Amino acid sequence: MKKLIFGLLLLPLVITAQSMNENARNSLFSDYKASNVGDAVTIIVVESSQAANKAETATGRKSDIGLTGSANIGSTSLPKTDIGLGTTNDFRGSGSTKSSGMVKTKISALIDSVMGNGLLRIKGKRRIVINGEEQLISIKGVVRRSDIQTDNSVYSYNISDAEIVFEGNGAISRAQSPGWLTKLFHWLF
């Protein structure tokens, strides 16, 4: 009888059993970690790039051709003749390029889909307009669940297949781009 009553009391618990992931959402002892479609994550974009390239070339070439002749007709000496031809070709060239960039920002993204192997595809964008100058930041890529911090943040260098795009539009952007006449000359020449 005691077993029957105990079994009936446990029956609702067995019927409403949930996965560990679902129980973690309601747990008093652990924080919820984003892992499902629609969950939000904060992307901490910290990107730094540096590149340098230097090239030097030096070539040289020298050619000399000469002909010397003297002749006698009988006892009379003819004037001595020298013919010479020489070429010299020297080339020296050098060039260098240097580039560096740094981007720091935070952007929120949503988990767009969960791949079959458990990886999370994320996507997010932010549009900021200040005094008519528009800036659009968009990000997408693939994240491992283990790279999501306890505060649901992810560093951009942990995103594989990352695509981070910064675009600007407005008076400042238009002032920095060449005019239509300059574009025409560049196109023609």
Does 166 have pLDDT greater than 80? yes
| Domain-embedded: residue 120 | yes
- Helix, strand, coil percentages, rounded to 5, for the chain: 20, 55, 25
Q: 133: helix, coil or strand?
A: strand
Q: CA-to-CA distance for 127 and 108, rounded, in angstroms?
A: 12
Reading phi first (left if > 0) and then psi (alpha if -120 to 50, else beta), residue 115 is in: beta
Total domains in the fold of the chain? 1
Higher pLDDT, 95 or 185: 95
Question: How many Cβ atoms sit within 10 Å of the Cβ of residue 112?
Answer: 14
| Domain-embedded: residue 22 | no
- Domain span at residue 106 reads 27-49+100-188
Q: 4: helix, coil or strand?
A: helix
Q: Which of the four pLDDT bands, split at 50, 70 and 90, describes residue 2?
A: low
Q: CA-to-CA distance for 104 and 39, rounded, in angstroms?
A: 23
Give the residue from 136, 166, 142, 138 showing the smallest Cα distance to 154: 142
| Domain-embedded: residue 146 | yes
Instruction: Read off the pTM.
Output: 0.54
How confident is the model at residue 155, as a pLDDT? 92
Beta bridge partners of 163: 140
Q: Quick one: CA torsion of 180, 184, 185, 186, rounded to 10 degrees?
A: 100
Q: Which of the four pLDDT bands, split at 50, 70 and 90, describes residue 11?
A: low
Does 15 have pLDDT greater than 60? no
Higher pLDDT, 64 or 19: 64
| Domain-embedded: residue 56 | no
Higher pLDDT, 125 or 67: 125
| Domain-embedded: residue 112 | yes
| Domain-embedded: residue 85 | no
How confident is the model at residue 144, as a pLDDT? 93
| Domain-embedded: residue 83 | no
How confident is the model at residue 175, as a pLDDT? 62
| Domain-embedded: residue 4 | no
Does 81 have pLDDT greater than 80? no
